[in-house]
Structure 1
Amino acid sequence: MARISEVMTRGVEVIRPEETLQRAAQLMDELNIGALPVCRDDQLVGMITDRDITVRATAAGMEPTQHHVSEIMTEQTRWCTEDQSTDEVMRQMGDVQIRRLPVLDERGQIVGIVSLGDLATRQAQHTDEVLRDVSWPSEPDRPDSNSGARH
């Protein structure tokens, strides 16, 4: 059975919570990525995505040079360990509908990241099920003032 350490991406870039949203967006652009783990003193404290910057910050009118990653990052981030099986991690990703997970070592320090793409290209078994689960439409995370109507 394959382990996450065999398919994960190592050498992952991270960002500190006190960095600006602009710096997070610049780093994502430079690296051509859509998510960054947020770390304080080598410990994972959250994740920030390009979607967070757009939906949580820009839509709220937050100035990217004046606001910090800590203000919009997702806290209590899901993660996995490098010794977990790929099957176990794929189930977790499907259950909570997430496309990437930071990978931690036994000391709780980040050593990589694993994405659905990593699993699909390096571990073909069962990824179709996980993709279906992750992509299934989810409910909005806030009340809809239009009684569920979308235009």
Structure 2
Amino acid sequence: MTTAKDIMHEGAQWIPKTETLLHAAQRMRRLHVGALPVSDETERLCGIITDRDIVVKCVAEGHDPSQCTAADIVEGTPRWIDAGASVEDVVKEMGTHHIRRLPVIENKKLVGMISEADVARSLPEDKVHAFAAQVYAGPPQT
């Protein structure tokens, strides 16, 4: 059985909810990623921010990214998947919640991230279209 850990990108990093959006954007640039999981003070997942979130919810609203924090823009219930979950479980989680990125947790620690492209690469060709239709059917999520 192929698991979430098998298809994830390793090396994902938390950003504390107290971190400024300027530093978050700089970390995204340095890591060549478009999203970062956000942790609370106990390193528990409390959300995900994307580069688009920073632009739309901060910059476009006229706020200063050096003054706004990740906590100012995270919203909703964060979704995640256990490292040992099957690819089918990953597909179900991402499709049901219309999300494009999914943190992977093992022993209560962040071990990676899965994007929709990671899932698509792991699915048989005849299932990729159905997966994409499910993820993109709902409102845009991170």
Contact 1:44 1:109 (8 Å CA) reproduced: no
Decide whether aligned partners of structure 1 residues 137 and 92 sit closer, same or farther in structure 2, where only a CA change above 3 A counts.
closer
Identify the residue that residue 28 of structure 1 maps to in structure 2.
28
CA distance in 2 between counterparts of 1:132 and 1:84 reads 22
Higher helix share: 2
Partner of 1:87: 88
Tell me the SS of whatever aligns to 1:59: helix
* 1:57-96 matched pairs, under 5 angstroms: 57-96=58-97
TM-score (norm 2): 0.87
**Partner Cα distance (1:137, 1:79) in 2:** 18
Native 8 Å contact 1:100 1:113 kept in 2:
yes
Query: In the alignment, is the contact (CA less than 8 A) between 1:47 and 1:75 conserved in 2?
Result: no
Cα displacement string for residues 23-58 of structure 1 (whole angstroms, at most 9, x for unaligned residues): 111111122211000123332121111111111112
Gapped runs of 5+ residues in structure 2? Answer: none
Separation of aligned partners in 2, 1:69 and 1:119: 27
In 1, the alpha carbon distance for the partners of 2:25 and 2:43 equals 21
Aligned-pair identity in percent equals 36
Structure 1 vs Structure 2 CA RMSD: 1.7
Q: Quickly say closer, same or farther: Cα 1:46–1:137, change in 2 above 3 A.
A: closer
CA contact (8 A) 1:102 1:112 kept: yes
2:49–2:70 CA contact under 8 A, matched in 1: yes
Q: Distance in 2 between matches of 1:60 and 1:83?
A: 40
Shift in Å, 1:64: 0.6
Matched, 1:15 2:21: no
Q: Which has the larger radius of gyration?
A: 1
Tell me if the contact between 2:7 and 2:119 (Cα under 8 Å) persists in the aligned partners: yes
User: Which residue type is aligned with residue 33 of structure 2?
Assistant: I
